[in-house]
Chains A and B, each alone.
Chain A
Amino acid sequence: MTLAILMLHALLGMFFILAAGFVYVDTLSACSMNLNRIRLMSRFVALLMWVTYLIGGYWYVVHYAPEKGYILKGPWPFAHDFFMETKEHVLMGLLLLATFLPIAAGNDLVGSKGARRLVLWIAALLVLTGVGVEGAGAIISMGAKVALLPVVGG
């Protein structure tokens, strides 16, 4: 069950990145035809981020402590010391940015170059940081794996 929660967290994170990428590409050619879609997808990005954050947060607070112990005693303590610590706090900024996206997308994206630039910047930051956070998650998982592997030839 705990692994299912963790996988759901990673999976929704991937969907979040794809959705933010969708908003970026759609905003590049914003017009009256796709304006509602951009706004709808922006809300979906925020929703995905909140669900991902809450599921990951639940797992982190309730189930992460034993894994943290293994990682810190294993050969990759930096998987927690740097990657997990950075990830868990950068996520808060990501959450705020994702929450701000639908507010920014509510502007006149067709007529305002400034509004388009703002949405493009937010979506790009969400995608790039999202990829970085997913990568950090992979390193944390690997940190736990190498800590639990038997030492070959030891």
Chain B
Amino acid sequence: MTTSTLNAQTRAFGLSAAVTCVASALLVVVKETNEGLLKFMKTITVHHWVTHGLFAVLLFLALGLLLARSNNGQGPAIGDDTVVKAVAGGFLLGCVIIAAFYLFIG
């Protein structure tokens, strides 16, 4: 059993932030290399960037709430260090994917 001093919401939304940062970065790559998806995102709101932002915020909230209720309401069974590494690693990986894409491909 993994013990954590962090509450369930923190562990859940920490993991959610990490996953969403990477997912948002991957969406950048996919939408910029797929004209059809970019056009579709433009039709949902006034701008593909607005749609992208909504996707990120909604995924963060939905995943966070879902994970917080997992494990019989105890949240993910992960330790403090894992949360710290996931949050920092997910955010930095997302930044690197975005910057590398626009530097070398976009």
Contact = CB atoms under 8 A, between A and B. Distances in A.
A115 B88 contact: no
B73 interface: no
* B interface residue count range (under 10 / 10 to 19 / 20 to 34 / 35 or more): 35 or more
A112 B25 CA distance: 32
Nearest to B88: A121
Interface stretch (A5-13, A25-33, A68-76, A79-87): A79-87
A121 B53 contact: no
B24 A118 contact: no
B interface SS class: helix
B55 to A, nearest CB: 9
Given A86-B102, A115-B6, A104 B88 contact: no
A93 B52 CA distance: 11
Given A92-B24, A106-B10, A129-B95, A100 B17 contact: yes
B13 A114 contact: no
A96 B14 contact: no
Interface of B: 4-7, 9-10, 13-14, 17, 20-21, 24-25, 28, 46-47, 49-50, 52-53, 56-57, 60, 79-81, 83-84, 87-88, 91-92, 94-95, 98-99, 102-103, 106
21 contacts: A57-B53, A61-B49, A82-B102, A85-B102, A93-B21, A93-B94, A96-B56, A97-B87, A100-B17, A103-B10, A104-B6, A104-B10, A107-B10, A108-B5, A112-B6, A114-B6, A115-B6, A115-B80, A118-B14, A118-B83, A129-B95
